[in-house]
Structure 1
Amino acid sequence: MTDIALARSAVEAEIEGLTLVGVLERTVRERGAEPAYSDRRVTSEPADGTGWRTVTWAGLRDRARGLAAVYLEAGLEPGDTVTIMASNRIEHVVADLAAVLAGGIPVSVYNTLPPNQVTYLAEQLAPRIVVLETGDHVRRWRQALAERPEISRIVAIDPAIDPAIDPAIDPAIDPAFDLLRADSRVLAWSDAQLRGPAALARQDAALTARSEAVRPDDPITILYTSGTTGQPKGVVLTHRNIWFEAVTSARTAHLDGPGITVSYLPFAHIAERLLGLYIPQLQGGHVHLIDDPATLAATLVEVRPTRFFGVPRVWEKIRTGVAAALAAEPDEARRAAVRQALAVGLTYIESTQTGRATPPRLREQFEAVDGPVLRPLRAALGLDRIEWATSAAAPMPVEVARFLAGLGLRVYDVYGMTETTASATACSPDSFRLGTVGRPHDGIELRLADDGEILLRGPITTPGYHRDPAATAELIDADGWVHTGDVGEVDEDGFLRVIDRKKDIIITSSGKNIAPSNIENALKESPLIGQALVVGEGRPYLVAILTLDGEAAPVIAKRLGVQPASPASPASVAELAAHPTIQAAVAAAVEATNARLSRPEQVKAYELLAEEWTVGSEELTPTLKMKRLIVSSRYRDVIARLYGEKA
């Protein structure tokens, strides 16, 4: 038996027979009185004195069982779906768990889905129960709710959706809620919780039978990929997929026992489900839920998590913030001391990479600067208690990783996709190399196709796309290999480096193959530049569209002496983009980037936009990745202008 097969067998033996039902019960037995989830909500439920509502593991299980009984009385059958559109909050977790306990399949969907995609998903999933949070969600679901007769219950989290509330009495009620007032299927969340105990008394035996009937190869969820073209595809994941991934990734990361974490990505994303739902349910732990990523920085400082997952854009913003604060420090001696400490931190972290050794003298130097300089910097970010930090969703720029290393942080890049139940490879405390996404987890196979495409195989592979056998056949070949669509390289020690999406590789008119993400990441190393799109397919040279970083640009502008038009408020992005001083600074950043690139990779022309790209304006995914096709289409006139063409 090969080493991979032996490792796979060991993990499979550990998870034999496991389902979410059993995992949750075990955690309740062992940690029932300990905190499970906290959030910040204005509800009738009291907070704990710090503004957080908190539920224990036992309380979470009890709430979920009560709601599961309500689901049964609403007609939920084994295998039916419960679709949830809600932010990260305790109610979302309860609604999800209740579906599994009742034998159903919870499906969290992105809150930003347009109505046409909601209607498509409702047709695909035929949900028995829909859980909605806000008036905006009601508007997005209006057509689907009217057209899908199989929806027997609409659970409304926001009290304002309660049909018993008269909008004439409370003018603050969102008019969207009027859409539901005549719908007998609507049940307010507060009523569902009140009905739970009585429903559970009636349905206890039936619910227990449903829970016990759940099997490892049953779906634990279906996650719809946020594609930029066509309709999203539903990735089916089983209990076996999830627990193999949870155990093998925890082994790689050396994650033992409960952690303290912050959950800020949507539960429609596999990384957040794994780190915010499944691993905490496997190990216990305390998850702090926030519904607005803009509050992440402040929450980190308050919570001081022991584990943190950041998408590359989050880490980029942390780097930008520290760099901007350092640049604004008026004391030159302090600036020099911090720079020296960062240099020592980087050298030390680099020495801990696989294949290297840390000289005793370097360790002493690091310890000498860590306490007085680096640890306070990490504390100011809320990262001073971090035992494990990671990045995923897209390759993290190596210069960002090096900057964070200077702070004394080893940020472990991992790689995977929804179709592989999150990560398939990862850097770890004992297998670490900057600029790579590590080596495969225990039991996972990796190889490169002839064209460099990354192929993966193992128990983390999805059974397929929901009701889409043709797409499943394109994803998984006859030998069980998942074709990721990414191009990569594997070094002599087995570390994987992701180059780019296969479909995004630019082939210029001279036949040069170029990975645009490498150039975009290099451009974004300037704290001024928030986003960058590089194009050049079939063209003689590359051009770029740039946006300013809305948070860092005003700080840098102030340092450069740029005065806002109105002294009472900071300069807007549009105002800064038009300012000659900022334009000159961006030009210098592009020139500095070009100096590091080969001639075919250099950006020959660019345009700085007067607006930012956001999730709300649809240029970014919920994980803050750029939607390349949408941006290219939306700014085709800009691209044409950069090439001297008519749009």
Structure 2
Amino acid sequence: MADMITSPAAFQRTAAIDPEAIAVRSIGGEQALTWDEYAQQVRAVAGGLSALGVGRGDTVALMMANRVEFYPLEVGAQHAGATSFSVYNTLSAQQLKYVFENAGNRIVICEAQYVDRIRASGVPIETIVCVDRPVPGTLSVAQLTSLVRHDFDFDATWQAVTPDDIVTLCYTSGTTGNPKGVEISHANLAFECQAYASVMPVRFGDRITSYLPTAHMADRVTSLYLHEYYGSQITTVPDRAQLGAALLDARPTIWGAVPRVWEKLKAAVEFSVANETDPDRRKALTWALEVAGRKARAQLAGVPLDDVQAAEWARADELVLCGIRAALGLDRLRWALSGAAPIPAETLGFFFGLGIPISEVWGMSELTCVASVSPPTQARLGTVGKLLPGLESRIAEDGEFLVRGPLVMREYRREPGKTADALDKDGWLATGDIITVDQDGYLRVVDRKKEIIINSGGKNMSPANIENTIKAATPLIGALATIGDRRPYNTALIVLDAESAEPYAAHHHLGDASAAALATHPELIAEIARGVAAGNAHLSRVEQVKRFLILPTFWEPGGDEITLTMKLRRNPIADKYAADIERMYTTELGDGVHEPASST
């Protein structure tokens, strides 16, 4: 891509397209910024930060929920020449200490609720700016912007930023050890946005929601940076529980989600149909979903619908399916994405049948987020599309997928040894993934290189594939860890979905919605057993889960078991639950050890 500009330059170009258009808004639009108002606030924030001594090469940290105020603050820091980055709101004081010391930031912009935790980190932060309410010893945003010097040259400041400067740090929530700070340059980011948009077009005024944490590289790219480069309109979602309302309000034209969100939307549609009280309406919904299912199965099989089937689907779409899409808030989509983990083909097929084609993407922070995707019209189920134009790949002798090109990170911040382990002298990045490439260039992710299960019979298996297949069968499962390495058969530790616990308890008239109470509830155990059996039906015999144990706890992101980006910490899980794992292999059924509803 030839047009290598910086993020401030991209923002200035975009903000001039239609200054009165809404750029960022809250759900319902009570709070909103036009591009002109946004640009004025960016200028003021950049001036205030410059007055505090922030310039090129300095770092500024942000810690807040998804909110309208985030955008002029982050983009203002970019215009001051700073490397601006977000930290997860769930980080402890000790974790903040590591990140802040590694990043070297002297300034944090945050919500008031995090001030005490930031101070408890012990890192000598010079200035804390609070976005929502006054806290002694901190600045308000108004106080920050009032600091601007009369001789501050805004244009000269942002124009001094170069493509080689570091635009952001993304701290990978590694499954072992401290997170690594991935350094992303303006050149990396410009290539990402332009290459991505060449495959999945983004237009000025496209609507999207920001609901993932702003520290997550997927949110930074699909919301913040594409917004700066192309002018998408963002609706901020401060609480994931508000996502459904946000979709109905924003009616996004471009949108992406992790597999778990797509699976919950699927479950919501199925629940709505199953609980429809009007018999005629229920009959129409059931018929339409059957027609959609035929289209989904044809897509999964790679066989187009015949003329009669196509006409029936068009009728079902006109009468019913369009209404289902509207009820989800997804009736205006031009394209949709799924990423961060493999999504079951059945889930992709379900939405394809509804008239919502989803493209799977693959990438990693070290590759500036998205590295492969194909538009819905060219997507192949079970693949993550093709590499973005301008990237090279090869497969190492051990099967690891290597990538080279303009998306490869600069380095891990202050980690020369780890950088050398990941990035060789010729520029090849070791992704850690096992990926196959077909003759047409489509990528198929097998699993993480270090996570492949090899059972006692020598069979190689992907735990992620097993886990996602079973989770897709029941929304009650929040997390599932497959056990089977050097074992005669596979078992699973199952954790209930925290968001589903309270509705399930209410529906079954249970007074206690705790994980401990639900884990022993006979009907829930039976439902999980049916879900495991349903998932097993889509797996080969050797991959199937033969026994499982429902843990009496919820796993929190950033805890012992899962990372902030919802990846399993497999070694800590194996250590922490060693006794439970042994029970699944050494005891008879009972004592919390269960088997699927039917063995296959």
Tell me if TM exceeds 0.5.
Answer: yes
* Corresponding residue of 2:509: 564
Distance 2:74 2:521 in 1: 49
Residue 17 of structure 2: SS of its match in structure 1? helix
Q: Is 1:154 equivalent to 2:128 in the alignment?
A: yes
Q: Tell me, what secondary structure is at the counterpart of 1:638?
A: helix
Q: Is residue 300–residue 349 contact of structure 2 (8 Å, CA) maintained in 1?
A: no
The aligned amino acid for 1:28 is A
In the alignment, is residue 541 of structure 1 matched against residue 486 of structure 2?
no
Task: Return the match for 1:461 from 375, 388, 408.
Answer: 408
Q: Is 1:316 aligned to residue 263 of structure 2?
A: yes
Query: Partner of 1:82 in structure 2?
Result: 60
- In structure 2, the residue corresponding to 1:83 is in which secondary structure? strand
Q: Which residue of 1 aligns with 2:237?
A: 290
Aligned to 1:589: 531
Task: Show the 5 A alignment for 1:95-106.
Answer: 95-106=73-84
Structure 1 contact 354–432 (Cα < 8 Å) conserved: no
1:247 aligned to which of 190, 194, 205: 194
- Partner letter of residue 192 of structure 1? L
The 1:56/1:142 distance shift into structure 2, 3 A limit, reads: same
Aligned to 1:369: 316
Query: 1:495 and 2:482 equivalent?
Result: no
> Contact between 1:547 and 1:611, CA under 8 Å: does it hold in 2?
yes
Return the alpha-carbon distance in structure 2 between the equivalents of residues 550 and 119 of structure 1. Answer: 29
Q: CA separation of 1:435/1:396 partners in 2, compared to 1, >3 Å: closer, same or farther? A: same
Q: Which deviates more from structure 2 when the two are superposed, residues 461-470 or residues 613-622?
A: 613-622
Segment drifting more, 535-544 vs 524-533:
524-533
1:263-310 Cα shifts (integer Å, max 9, x gaps) = 001121111111111111111121011111121112111221111110
SS at match of 1:204: coil
User: Residue in 1 aligned with 2:521?
Assistant: 579
Alpha-carbon displacement from aligned partner over 1:338-394 (angstroms, at most 9, x marks no partner): 344234335446767998656444432222111211111111111111111101111
CA contact (8 A) 1:256 1:283 kept: yes
Once the two structures are superposed, what CA deviation does each residue of 1:9-32 show, in whole Å capped at 9, x if it has no partner? Answer: xx2x2x13x111211111121121
CA deviations 1:436-479 (Å, max 9, x no partner) are 10111111222322222222221111111111111111111232
* Counterpart in the other structure of 1:632: 574
Does 2:557 correspond to 1:612?
no
Residue 29 (str. 1) matches residue 7 (str. 2): no
Q: Report the Cα distance in structure 1 between the residues aligned to 2:179 and 2:83, rounded to whole angstroms.
A: 18
Shift of 1:112: 1.3
Alignment check: 8 A CA contact 2:422 2:431 kept: yes
Q: Distance in 1 between matches of 2:46 and 2:276?
A: 55
Cα distance, 1:234 vs. partner? 0.6
Cα distance between partner residues in 1 of 2:89 and 2:300: 40
Contact 1:353 1:432 (C-alpha < 8 Å) held by counterparts? no
Instruction: Indicate the larger mover: 615-624 or 228-237.
Output: 615-624
Number of the residue aligned with 2:144: 192
Q: CA deviation at 1:335?
A: 4.5
1:311 touches 1:623 (CA, 8 Å); kept in 2? no
- How much does 1:330 deviate? 4.5
Q: Indicate the RMSD between aligned Cα atoms, in angstroms.
A: 2.5
Q: How many aligned residue pairs are there?
A: 587
Partner of 2:596: none
CA contact (8 A) 2:66 2:214 kept: yes
Q: Report the 3-state secondary structure (helix = DSSP H, G, I; strand = E; otherwise coil) of the residue aligned with 1:465.
A: coil
CA distance in 2, matches of 1:339, 1:387: 26
* Distance change in 2, residues 1:479/1:584 (3 Å): same
C-alpha displacement at 1:118, in angstroms? 1.1
Q: 1:469 to 1:274 in 2, by over 3 A?
A: same
Pick closer, same or farther for the CA change 1:581–1:54 going to 2, 3 Å.
same
Letter in 2 for 1:105: T
Structure 2 stretches lacking a partner, 5+ long = 592-600
Per-residue deviation at 1:554? 6.6
User: Which deviations, in whole Å up to 9, do the C-alpha atoms of 1:501-541 show, x marking residues without a partner?
Assistant: 11111112222111111111121122333321111222222
What is the alpha-carbon distance in structure 2 between the residues aligned to residue 350 and residue 258 of structure 1?
A: 35
Q: Which moved more, 1:339-348 or 1:301-310?
A: 339-348
Q: Specify which of 313, 333, 340 is matched with residue 386 of structure 1.
A: 333
Match of 2:343 in 1: 396
Q: Distance in 2 between matches of 1:485 and 1:424?
A: 14
Asked if the contact 2:492/2:547 (under 8 Å) is kept, the reply is: yes
- Structure 2 CA distance for aligned equivalents of residues 360 and 528 of structure 1: 39
Q: Distance in 1 between matches of 2:393 and 2:283?
A: 45
CA distance in 1, matches of 2:438, 2:53: 54
**Partner residue in 1 for 2:170:** 223
Counterpart CA distance in 2 for 1:430 and 1:402 is 14
